[in-house]
Structure 1
Amino acid sequence: MSVFALLAAALSATIVGVRPAIAQQTQAVSPELEAEYDAAFQEMLKNPSDLDVLFKFATIASKTGDLEGAISALERMLLVDPDLPRVRLELGVLYYRLGSFEVARSYFEVTLKSASLPPDVKARAEQFLAESEKRLTKSRFTGEIFAGMRYQSNANLGPPTSSVRLFGQTANLNQTALGTADWGAVTSGFLRHIYDLGQNNPAQLETQLSGYLNRQFQIQAANVSILDLTSGPRFKAFNGIFEDVTLKPFGTVGYIWVNDVPYYGSFGSGLEVGTLLSDKLRNTTNFVWRRQMYQNTWYIPTNNQFTGVEYSANSTFQYAVNQAVMLYANGNLQRYQTDSTPWQNYMLYGVGGGMSFSFTDPLFKSELPWSISLFGNVQWWYYDQPDAVVDPTVTRQQIDTILNLTLSIPFDQRTMFTVSGGRFVRSSDIPNYAFTNNSALIGVTWRF
């Protein structure tokens, strides 16, 4: 079993932060929706006191991203009839999306005082009121927890055959070291703390603790536990030059256990750069330096040979085709340099992409859309020197191909059921490291 591969598989299977429960998303207006918007606007001009006409325009305006136009139409409806709790709720939601949390809170509070309040309106108003009050505090916590079950066709990521290389010769592995199927329990999540640095200062201090834990039913050697803590200030940069650029320098520490024994601890620092390139396109780029300190254990007596420094960069582009379709593309680069074992040094290059498609709930007919996401990633590994213990004549090269398909079904604004299928294929010029692992994952995500 390759411990590095085991960790890669564990991280690729982590499902956290699938989608924010309440978030303002980039709007991409189709020609059809734009024409519908123009027609609704003209109809509103002809019938400025018709509630149905006003509500229709507000709905279309919200879809196109014209939040101010939608607010104007809804406020006009309240002038005609003040006893419209659903309209007050939608006004609060629009102000929330604009970042006017104080105004949004006032609308939610008035909505909840209405004598004729439908249960669904009451539930949404209470949730958004809580979110608005959270946003108005200088110090606030958010988080997410995922819990589920996973099947893997090759849980220990072992090679498909017993024929491997040892000191340049063909050797045979024990049958127990071959790829073996297994079920396991998976839990992951994060706790994020945000502290606003001042009323007139848009900067905030962000601290996040992330965790991952899997427990296999049979193959205990495939158990993985991960803790990672990052913290740093996020602030806007280049005001007046670029519309929306944020910088976040941060420090990070982490620890990983494999087979329930310590594997390595790490510390480092990095920089995250977020840029809104257009109304449809956003980029997030990270640069990270990390010191990894491996310790010898009964499980891996020579583990300290991997101690060294990792340099990595990752860039992700997110493009909104329309309200239903989001496209993603990413590239990553990584260099690992050990202290004393150059045959463990490597360069890694990766590219990937995918898409997310939202659609109307086909089963329960709720207002919450379902989504399907497809992501793929290919990584090329190039090691510096041959490993004499494995094969002194071959310098290791390998390719990872990772695919994942996910269906997300929301129960409410905070809870989501997820079904996911994945395939992880590693090909290598040394058979010791090649494997294929197909997986299926089901679970529930809860946000708070």
Structure 2
Amino acid sequence: MLVKRDISSSFNADRRARQALRVGWRALLLAGALALSGVGGAQAAEATALADSDAEFNALFQQSLKRPADVDLAFRLARRAIEVGDYEAAIGVYERILFYDPKLVRVKLELGRLYYRLGAYESARAYFQPISDAAALTPAERENIAAYLVEIDRRLSTTQWSIYGQVGVRYQSNANYGPSNRLVIGQDVGALLPPSYAAQADGNAFALASIRHVYDFGNQRGDVWESNLNLYYSQQFQLEQLNLGFVEFNTGPRFALLPDALPGSSVRAYVIAGGVALGGEGYLGTYGAGASIYAPFSRWFGLEPFVEIRQRDYQNTADYPTAGFQTGEMWTVGANVFGRVTDDIGWRARLSYNDASGQLPWYSYNTFAVDVALPIEFQGLWGVKRWVAIPSAGYTRYSYDAPNPFISKFTAQVDNQYRVGLALDVPVHEQWGLLTQIQYSWSDSTLPNYAFDNFSVSVGPNVRF
């Protein structure tokens, strides 16, 4: 029998709406992925006192006074000064080394790093810039200097902006995320889904932007006020009820956490506000707050745990007449993990758990999600910078709190969704390039209504500055 357009088919429509939203979310997450701490006077004095009380440092210092031209001894003294946190003493030692041999590139590199840690950014730049292309340094060291110079320019400016944007076209084999089989369940009996609800291929044109603003408090610790604006819009070629508009803004302070022991570490608190339009009508408004800790333990491993709470207010529309039942709170806890495998290969992963409440129990659910990506840089066929290939894989489990009686009184919906993809970012100019993405996703479900598969490919120019 045919399934009529009742509350169960509306539930199917709301499910397709949620899938469309996830497409937009993942596009913005990739945009964000493609779109960086000093010692105060009291800390410096404390470090100097620690150095003065360190027996090894004092022994090396006394030996260095007797043999001031002993470069190896001076290196040992400088390294020990850094270990005990007396950067000013290490600077003095390294500058004395340069007096005897002013051509030592790696000594200039260490001096640049030390001045940077002390917040003396102009002095750091004076050492970094002359050696930025030095043949004596490894490619990784030259890349590191380039990153320092960018960050120094940023920190010497009270206000910084960064923008990433892309426009393009996307094709999907199952744009409405219709079930793989037209034979579904309605009120615990088999039903034949009308063709309009089955999987339908479609394309769209889309545009997205991620805009970040940072106001530096100028206290040499690296404390800032950070704001982020994410925008996305897609216009379907045929399925206009899936036209998607998305905006989200978050803002809040980011404070240096351990500027000396763990340079770059920070803690951030922020507020969130956003909205979604679907099919040309207002669909969702959301607001909330969150907090995160950023901890780059090394070049090879970093961690950013976070927690958020949002209030989600859904609006019923002509295309989605039961959307309002999804209104409720959503808690999210998770972590971004990142690092490098080699100089050319990075890695990042995102894990999250959501607990979302709705006005009806079958609209309440929890999810667990994990996504992993492996950015690989290599020399491409052309362009001013190296190309980046990004293979990725992900998994999400959706578990609803209760069965939807309009579909099945006995079986609650549990979905296991999988995805694999590949993106290729080809720089054409210093600030713009071409991004191509392909992805295949599929879902197994306790209810055949929600099992689907979808192949998508998108391409378009991107810009960052």
TM-score (normalised: structure 1): 0.74
**2:314 & 2:150 partners in 1: Cα distance?**
44
**1:214 & 1:390 partners in 2: Cα distance?**
31
Q: Please tell me whether the aligned partners of residues 9 and 424 of structure 1 are also in contact (alpha carbons under 8 angstroms).
A: no
Question: Match of 1:84?
Answer: none
Q: What amino acid does structure 2 have at the position aligned with 1:8?
A: R
Question: Match of 1:437?
Answer: 454
Which has the higher mean CA deviation after the structures are superposed, 209-218 or 165-174?
165-174
Structure holding more helix per residue: 2
Percent identical residues: 24
Cα distance, 1:224–1:209 mapped onto 2, change above 3 Å: same
- Is 1:421 the counterpart of 2:445? The answer is no
- Is 1:10 the counterpart of 2:24? The answer is yes
Q: Deviations over 1:299-351 (max 9, x none)?
A: 2222211100001112122121211011223321111112x311111121122
Q: Deviations over 1:270-321 (max 9, x none)?
A: 0111112234211112211000001122222222111000011121221212
**2:365 & 2:447 partners in 1: Cα distance?**
15
**2:124 & 2:350 partners in 1: Cα distance?**
36
**1:415 & 1:106 partners in 2: Cα distance?**
30
Question: Match of 2:87?
Answer: none
Q: What amino acid does structure 1 have at the position aligned with 2:370?
A: V
Please point out which of 416, 424, 428 is paired with 1:399. Answer: 416
Offset at residue 97 of structure 1 (A): 9.2
Q: What amino acid does structure 2 have at the position aligned with 1:221?
A: Q
Q: Deviations over 1:207-230 (max 9, x none)?
A: 111111111111111211110000
Q: What amino acid does structure 1 have at the position aligned with 2:215?
A: Y
| Larger Rg computed on CA atoms | 2
Please point out which of 348, 357, 361 is paired with 1:342. Answer: 361
**1:328 & 1:389 partners in 2: Cα distance?**
41
Partner SS state of residue 204, structure 2: strand
**1:286 & 1:153 partners in 2: Cα distance?**
35
**2:150 & 2:261 partners in 1: Cα distance?**
36
Offset at residue 100 of structure 1 (A): 6.4
**1:109 & 1:283 partners in 2: Cα distance?**
30
> Aligned runs of 1:105-184 on 2, under 5 Å?
135-184=155-204
Offset at residue 178 of structure 1 (A): 1.2
Q: What is the aligned-residue RMSD (CA, Å)?
A: 3.2
Cα distance, 1:232–1:3 mapped onto 2, change above 3 Å: same
Q: What 5-or-longer segments of structure 1 have no aligned partner?
A: 24-67, 81-86, 111-127
Q: Please tell me whether the aligned partners of residues 34 and 164 of structure 2 are also in contact (alpha carbons under 8 angstroms).
A: no
**1:9 & 1:258 partners in 2: Cα distance?**
13
Q: What 5-or-longer segments of structure 2 have no aligned partner?
A: 1-12, 37-90, 131-147
TM-score (normalised: structure 2): 0.72
Partner SS state of residue 12, structure 1: helix
**1:348 & 1:400 partners in 2: Cα distance?**
11
Cα distance, 1:210–1:221 mapped onto 2, change above 3 Å: same
**2:339 & 2:227 partners in 1: Cα distance?**
27
**1:261 & 1:299 partners in 2: Cα distance?**
9
Q: What amino acid does structure 1 have at the position aligned with 2:18?
A: F
Q: Please tell me whether the aligned partners of residues 384 and 430 of structure 2 are also in contact (alpha carbons under 8 angstroms).
A: no
**1:249 & 1:7 partners in 2: Cα distance?**
25
Question: Match of 1:359?
Answer: 378
Please point out which of 286, 309, 312 is paired with 2:332. Answer: 312
Q: Please tell me whether the aligned partners of residues 105 and 133 of structure 1 are also in contact (alpha carbons under 8 angstroms).
A: no
Which has the higher mean CA deviation after the structures are superposed, 131-140 or 409-418?
131-140
Partner SS state of residue 24, structure 2: helix
Offset at residue 354 of structure 1 (A): 2.7
Please point out which of 403, 407, 410 is paired with 1:386. Answer: 403
Question: Match of 1:83?
Answer: none
Q: What amino acid does structure 1 have at the position aligned with 2:340?
A: A
Partner SS state of residue 391, structure 1: coil
Q: Please tell me whether the aligned partners of residues 431 and 464 of structure 2 are also in contact (alpha carbons under 8 angstroms).
A: yes
Cα distance, 1:353–1:134 mapped onto 2, change above 3 Å: closer
**2:258 & 2:221 partners in 1: Cα distance?**
15
**2:352 & 2:361 partners in 1: Cα distance?**
22
